[in-house]
Amino acid sequence: MKLVIVESPTKAKTISHYLDSSFKVMASVGHIRDLPKKNSGAIDIAHGFVPHYEVVKGKEKIVAEIKQLSKKASEVYLTTDPDREGEAIAWHIKEACGLKDPKRAVVHEITKEAVMEALAHPRHIDEDLRKAQEARRVLDRLFGYDLSGLIWKKVRYGLSAGRVQSPALRILMEREREIRAFVPEDFWVITGEFNTEKNSTITLVCDETPAKETEAERIIAAAKKNPWHVIEVKQTEAKRSPRPPFITSTLQQAASSELGFAPSRTMRIAQHLFENGLITYMRTDSTNLSAAALAEIYGEIEKTYGKQYLSPRAYHTKSKTAQEAHEAIRPTSARKRHAGSGEAERLYNMILERTVASQMADAKTLRTKISANIIGKGDAIPNFSVNGSVIVFPGWFAADPGARGEETELPKIMENDPLTLKNIASEGKQTEPPGRYTEAGLIKELEKREIGRPSTYASIIQTLLTRAYVLKNGRALQPTDVGEVVSTFLEKNFEKYISDSFTADMENKLDLIADGKENYVTTLKNFYTPFSKDVAAKAKIEKLTTLGEADKKFKCPVCGSSMDIKLGRSGKFLSCSRFPKCKGSLKIDGAPFEEPKETGEMCPECKTGKLVEREGKFGKFIACNNYPKCKYIKEDPAEVAKRKTGVTCPLCKEGEITERRGRFGFFYSCSNYPKCKFAMKARPTGNICKLCDSLMMEGTKTIPERCSNKDCPNHNPLKAAKRK
């Protein structure tokens, strides 16, 4: 028996279809080892930044099963993903399971040919790639824990910093400050509607936008008083070349702009397509296409569109660190026209269209510009014009119609033809500030500045959203009050470590470790020695409680003193500058807070406080007035009964699973909290998972329930549905 180990059950299922009964394929279900959550003892800095890994909770059964099967196997193949993380997972499986000389089979696309080729020509685990991933993990842990600990002390408990997330947050805050500092300027747009000699209607817009209304009025008066004629009809033929095949960043950008998918959602769907053998590996920065793939694409173009549409092309990425030996994201076969249904189908079709179009002829368009003005030189005014465009040869648009855009065909008109003015009007407008970054825009900016790598873009944005440093306002990413405070603190005290140059340089050093050109210990030592000193040097700075002075028009409602801007649990508010001597406060807009109303009841917990009605983040509630010394909150028995599920806690066997509200929304936990800290994301159904003995919880409309253990295959609705 030959044992093949992959990460996911779906990937294992797909590969097993290609192999005969002499092979056994099993899944590690992601990482089986990681650094412990507690930082103490996680990394031995003094002895060369040695990480101390532990088996991920819940993976003990998988480790035991791999050990047992490997003893019976004549060969063990580690067929994890073809990137640094995949190399690291393969190494962890080897170390945790005590595998002796396992073979590393690298598969960039899960097709029968690719799998058989990889198994026929395996290699050893690439120690340089593995060390590069380990260096990234250790680096991020050292950076995050040291800075986050300082932020907890100096700003607020529970906040965090990250080696790549913090520069991304800084970029968003830089744009936010540009928006705030922007001073709008007035301008007027003048539009005229004309009739041609052949009674066609044409709309022309003034080429200049006057900054004063009086100038706009002068132009309109001259336009009405004088006759008009065409002064120029300019036609030019333009070509539009196809875009390169997708890489990770461009796939995320296009899916966000065209399909409305968040980057994390895009990568989840792409992972599903890859594991089912429909596309090549989706974490890549190369635009290359293999010779076999190109031959198939050429054949499909000639067959579907005709030989005149074929135009073989080679693309090269602009990134200096791109791994050109890899391939772009493409369908495993250009002949496959469908990939299931729903969002998977939409993403697959976008990849297919982009791949085929990349090898097609330029699209040709005919652009026309018509300019007109008044006859006579007495009242000089700017030209009025309109632009049109029609496609004369579709080229690659035939395969990628979404990129075609709208055509604007203008009426047939000649130079010096007279025009009759029907209507003319001006509209006052103001210049607008730069727009906030969308997810697609931020990914493009991160890639341009070489911050992060293809595999990290989605997680960077997801972390910012999860931490509530950023919220989505429509499609735009808007920093929150908390995000602004954290970014300001880091920019003021650790500007070097969240700068573009430092972050990009560190990514380059990690790439050099992967290439075997940089030493693991030296790289980490050169970073951590000055970094730890800089963090220690800031230990004595004052706690950041005040964000600045409030507008002078706001006065303390208690003593009349000036107000300061401060950050609270629910965002920014105004506090008396004499705090703590005076505890007067106002909302950030200057409106008063509602005074707590006494209920006439004593606190049953501390026995000394009185119960008062307060207004909180989630509405009104009744609590002890001795807060924060006493944290008693009175709850409505009827509401408490609604939150109970009737399911006994599987951890302490005493409490009942109850609905709670946390900083990231609703969740379910044991009623004995904090003594028992069992928690799960969705309401338990009361059933037990047959695979891992964990509680099952409510799922989606199509998947009624799923396992609460995130490491269990039944936790993923798509995989659970396939298994059923």
Helix, strand, coil shares of the chain, percent, nearest 5, are: 35, 25, 40
Which residues are CB-neighbours of 590 under 8 A, at least 6 positions away? 551, 553, 554, 574
Say how many Å lie between the first and final Cα of the chain, rounded.
Answer: 27
Output the six-digit token pair for 564: 């300061």
Three-class SS of residue 599? strand
CB 611 within 8 Å of CB 624: yes
Q: What is d(CA 274, CA 107) in angstroms, rounded to the nearest whole number?
A: 11
Q: Which helix (H) or strand (E) holds 465?
A: helix 457-466
**Cβ of 293: how many Cβ atoms within 10 Å?**
22
CB 166 within 8 Å of CB 487: yes
Query: Nearest CA to 190 among 215, 166, 173, 159?
Result: 215
DSSP codes joined into one string, 348-363? HHHHHHHHHHTTBPPE
CB 167 within 8 Å of CB 500: yes
What backbone torsions phi and psi does residue 331 show, to the nearest 5 degrees?
-65, 145
Output the six-digit token pair for 37: 């959550």
SS (H, E, C) 212-262: CHHHHHHHHHHHHHCCEEEEEEEEEEEEECCCCCECHHHHHHHHHHHHCCC
Whether cis (ω within 30° of 0) applies to the bond prior to 580 is: yes
520 in catalytic set: no
Q: What is d(CA 550, CA 563) in angstroms, rounded to the nearest whole number?
A: 5
Torsion (CA) 443, 447, 449, 450 in degrees, nearest 10: 130
Whether cis (ω within 30° of 0) applies to the bond prior to 479 is: no
CB 279 within 8 Å of CB 351: yes
Identify the active-site residue in 18, 77, 145, 281: 281
Angle among Cα 347, 352, 358 to the nearest 5 degrees reads: 125
Torsion (CA) 392, 395, 399, 401 in degrees, nearest 10: -30
Query: Nearest CA to 70 among 103, 48, 45?
Result: 103
The residues carrying an active-site annotation are 281
